[in-house]
Amino acid sequence: MKKEYMKLIKGAEKARKKAYTPYSKFKVGAAILTVDGKIFTGCNIENASFGLAVCAERVAIFKAISEGSTKFEAIAVIGDTDKPCSPCGACRQVISEFGEDIPLIMANLKGDIKIKKIKKLLPEAFGKNDLL
C-alpha cells in the first residue's frame, strides 16, 4: 500500500476523534489528499434535526474546496465498524463529482482496509455531462 494512503488513514482516524455524534454515537473520520500534496480532514457532525447532519467525507471535501483545492488523489474514511467503513450514497455522489478514478481507502479501527475506485462504488453516477 502507498505510504500516502497510510498517512490518510491516520489523518482520518485523528479527525474521527473530533466527531460530534450525540445521537448515533457513530464517529467517522475522513482525510482527502489533493494533487499538490495537501491533506484535509473531516469528521461527521450530527444535529437534532437529523437531516441536517453532515458526513465526514463531505466535510473534508468541502474544507479542501473552500481552501481552493478541487483536484484529488485519494480519500480515506474510517469508522468503528466490523468491515471497512464505506461512504453513504450522498458522499459517493459528491466524491464522484471530482473524478471517477479517485481511490477510496475504506478502513476500520481493527486495521482492515479496502481500496476501490469511486466508479466501482457508484457506477453511472450523475455528472456534469448529464446537465447538458
The residues assigned a catalytic role are 57
Planar angle of CA 105, 31, 129, nearest 5 degrees: 75
Edge to edge, the sheet with strand 72-79 lists 39-43, 28-34, 72-79, 103-108, 113-117
> Distance between terminal CA atoms of the chain?
39
With cell 466527531, the residue in question is: 19
21 burial via Cβ count (<10 Å: 0-12, 13-18, 19+): middle
